[in-house]
Amino acid sequence: MTRATHPRPRLTRPTIAALLSLTLATGSAAAQAQGDALNADDGTGAVKVCAPVAMPRWRSMSPVPKTWTFLDCMAFSGEMGATHFQLGCLFTNVTPYAQKYAWGAMVQIDKSALAKSQPPVPNCGW
């Protein structure tokens, strides 16, 4: 029995470049659409999270009430003996393959921190 051989299609550099740009454009459009669909409102099942951090020894993560503010998280973190803290969000209802968490930048606890609220994106009410 002989096997039928089919010539493999040759892809030229312009064809490969066109396919690559199409793939990248489609992928970024899909990612943008998923991000647009993720609104951090009550429908996402968002939970506010305060994360005290004592660099480089330990890190903690506490779900907090919706009424907590940036200042509450900073004060709580200081009481825990942390040197830094982060604001975070955890989501339950998101579009498929969307990230189910978000973190703001890590902020050092000091007087200058009052000007750096650093909420996560998407934000769940920080």
pLDDT-derived band of residue 111, with 50, 70 and 90 as boundaries?
Answer: confident
7 or 73, which is more confident? Answer: 73
Q: pLDDT tens-digit profile of 10-41?
A: 444 444 444 333 333 333 333 333 343 334 55
At residue 47, does pLDDT exceed 70? yes
Residue 69, pLDDT score? 94
- CA-based nearest residue to 85, from 40, 38, 56, 51: 51
C-alpha angle 54-103-105 in degrees, rounded to nearest 5: 60
